[in-house]
Structure 1
Amino acid sequence: MSTTFQLDTATSRAHPTPAPMKRLTIPAVRQRKIDGVTAQPVVMLTAYTARQAQLLDAHCDLLLVGDSLGQVIYGLPSSIPVTLDLMVAHGAAVVRGSYHAAVIVDMPFGSYEASKEQAFASAARLLKETGCDAVKLEGGAAMAETVAFLIARGIPVMGHVGLTPQAVNVLGGYNARGRSAEEADKILSDARALADAGAFAIVVEGVVEPIAVAVTRAVPCPVIGIGASAQCDGQVLVTEDMLGMFERVPRFVKVYANLGDTIAQTAAQFAADVRTRAFPEQAQTYQPK
């Protein structure tokens, strides 16, 4: 039994408490796919805060601290400005708020591309300062040597091919990839290169479905789809997208709730109560004894 940090709802402070179960390990995730078949699909959602992690943890195999936090939390135009410091801070919060799911932290743009040594320094910092279980990086064959370098030094790596948001300036936007035969072949070869390098899982994002199916069948490790295919070995979504926190979401997102509307309506009711002095009531105030 391990120890994690849970929020004390009475004080809103984090206190160490014994975890009720062991955290899922990276080898266990890798072993979900046996002889090309994943009987139990891998469930992954993004998480950026301790409280969000607490709410998602019991339902997920993997929690991804994605660099999408740049847009989701900080209102940035893309993930490119996200720093390693931000990933460390949010990664540590998610680890503190979880005990079951393995936590994967994105390596932000500019933190791993220059050299294998740079990648190791960045990844080692993420593991040491967050307590996460693995890192994720974008890129295929060009990053395979780096992936192998990290794994040989004790750092599990999740790959990411297809639509790679950190390369949005090269790709020219967030359009689906793999429509041409040349691009489809590249996505497939990139996935194979990452698998051969030892990646324990690969995210395939925003590709036409036949390519996602081909990638899933071509590599021995689990393939986690986002805007890909139900035939992938697992699925991931940005949690805020599926919860309806934004007016517009990618077409591949299924919106399971409309929390954005709920929050706005609740804030409006609070504002009305304050302006009419209906809040606070006696139950929310301290009276003399």
Structure 2
Amino acid sequence: MNNKKQKNSGKNKLHEIIYEADTTQGKLFDVILLVAILTSIILVMLESVQSIDTKYHNTLYFGEWIITILFSIEYLLRIIAIRKPRKYIFSFFGMVDFLSTIPFYLSLFFAGSQGLIALRALRLLRVFRILKLARYIGASNKLILALKASKAKIAVFLFFVLIVCIILGTVMYMIEGQENGFTNIPKSIYWAIVTLTTVGFGDIAPQTPLGQLISSIIMILGYSIIAIPTGIVSSEISKTSETLDTNTQSCPNCLKEKHAKNAIYCYHCGSTLNA
């Protein structure tokens, strides 16, 4: 009985360190992991530079092994620290952790000359580690909530922009014609989208005075359109900021986060948070 209690106590302590940041050990774990993630991204970037890789290949390879082993241990500890490992394994962050760890192991099986392309592709997958940083950006939670709350308004706005592009593209096709590069309506709509978003590739350009006048109006309209989704999301962010303060507690049963301060039970599954 005592062994079971000690085991549960140890598991809860491990969960607190790995999944939360309210304790000194939890903060230290997060800092070490942050440094490891940033180091791994730098290693991947340096490895892609031929001159650096040729000169320091063994050092980069050794560093990559250390990082991979560290992430492997972290991945296993995250599975051990929760009551339902499947919740973590098939979660977004679980998949990110898996994708950021497994490519280096898989690349060992593609060392032959025929597998060089597959080897490079697998190594590039290590860039997925940068997604692990999302855990440590508190503001990202507010941004995600704001985007979810404003998705209907943004969808209506994008639909309106699409209609505008279709109308303006068709008008430009009628005005400019095939001799000026507007060979069909889809290509004219493409030009309208490029112009409205102020990208301006320059592969198609109006030649007639009326076409140039309309394109000028579209470009000015493009700058005003940029401000609309920004305003929508900003409004939702301000509303989100007014909600109840949360802490870093993560439910050991369902992995739900953003619990209210001093919360004892999980708002999602009802499990005890600090058992």
Pick the TM interval, shorter chain: under 0.3
Structure (1 or 2) with the larger CA radius of gyration = 2
Larger strand percent = 1
Scaled by the length of structure 2, what TM-score is found?
Answer: 0.24
Scaled by the length of structure 1, what TM-score is found?
Answer: 0.23
